[in-house]
Structure 1
Amino acid sequence: MGSKAAKGGPSQALTPTQAGRYARNLAIPDRAIDIFPVTCQEMSKGRTNLEVLDAVMAAGAGIIQMREKNWKKKAIHDLALEFRKRTYGQQILLIISDHVDIALAVDADGVHLGQEDLPIAAHVGLDLV
């Protein structure tokens, strides 16, 4: 697998998914990320994750982390797909909590691995860690 060249862009060896991610990230403005919102429906005072996402997007956040610890994997995947649809091309990075497979499946920009998840060494070589 290739890597991003230091100054000239991606190397020739990027996969289509990596190339798409690289192209999307080029559109992210050169600005500091000063807020890092994390969604969790049970902590959102009656709002759905999508309502929170829409509010975060309207407020101008450049990144969002989707986190649902107690949901079934299929429900997390379905929500992640909708998050990706809404954030794609909108200059908002999407981070998925805990599930490298879901992050890869929806072409997320990154994954957050907590202390109870598989160690980073188990995911070496993936383009999200």
Structure 2
Amino acid sequence: MRRSGMLFFVLVLGCILCACGSGSGNNTATVSRFAGTFDGTWVDIGNGQQGTLTTTVSNSGTITGTLANTTRGTNAVLSGTISDAGATSITLAYPTTSNLYTGVLSLDARSHIVGSIQTTNGVSVVGISQLDLTKR
């Protein structure tokens, strides 16, 4: 009887250990579908401005890069995030001011990031920029 009790204990312990597993689960990081380095153009027709943009999107969706406003002859550093669904929030830091842009971007069939982002003055939209960025 003692032997069958020990066997039962070993079986129960084995089942518990198998059920616990290693604890690692499925912790693999998801890579943003926008990940990569992109170059391209932006146009704000309403304000009569345009320029170029170089940006890198990390595996986690963090955006960094530079923007050149060729109309005004100024440059900005950009930083922000993009979700896998394309929801975007970017801050453009110019030498004397910064602006927050939000919008939804997408990848087209050519793997270009395309779409529009907008900035507000807190009440009204004051700028809408169209982007077309090509993956390097």
* TM exceeding 0.5: no
- Rg larger in 1 or in 2? 2
Please give the range of the TM-score, normalised by the shorter of the 2 chains: under 0.3
* Structure with the bigger percentage of helix: 1
Q: TM-score, normalised by structure 2?
A: 0.24
Q: Which has the higher strand share?
A: 2
TM, length-normalised to structure 1: 0.25
